[in-house]
Amino acid sequence: MKQMVVAALDDVDELIEQYFRAQREFLRGNPEPVKNLFSHRQDVTLANPYGPPARGWEKVSKTIEHAASLRSDGTFVEWQILAKYVTAELAYVVQIERAEAKIGAREDITPLALCALR
């Protein structure tokens, strides 16, 4: 079992790196890399700061696209992992993400800070 958890931890660390690469694109207005990381099942759920929680792939996909459309010229400043728990059956990460981007029609770069559970 310990070997499975170590393999799962390696997989989760790689997924975290993929997520951060996808977020870099997301902050430039491109939702596709983030969408590719999400489950496409009907039980997928997303809560974000731009509206009510979305459930089901069709709604989650549209929510991700909308959120990405509100950002441009963005970049990650830093991320801080506060907690990470991994077993062979379950994994989660609690993190603070700090970024900068143009939001909506604004021309200035705005700092962003989010606490996220992944």
Compute the distance between CA of residue 91 and CA of residue 71 in angstroms, rounded to an integer: 29
What order do you get walking across the sheet with 71-86 strand by strand? 71-86, 91-103, 109-117
Query: What string of pLDDT tens digits covers the 118 residues of the chain?
Result: 445 444 566 788 898 899 899 999 999 999 999 999 999 999 999 998 878 999 999 999 999 999 999 999 998 899 899 999 988 888 889 999 999 999 888 899 999 888 877 6
- Name the nearest CA neighbour of 27 among 64, 55, 82: 64
Q: Is 68 helix (H, G, I), strand (E, B) or coil?
A: helix
The first and second tokens of residue 41, run together, are 């099942």
Q: What is the pTM assigned to this prediction?
A: 0.82
Identify the structural domains of the chain with CATH numbers, from first to last.
Answer: 2-117 (3.10.450.50)
pLDDT number for residue 1 = 45
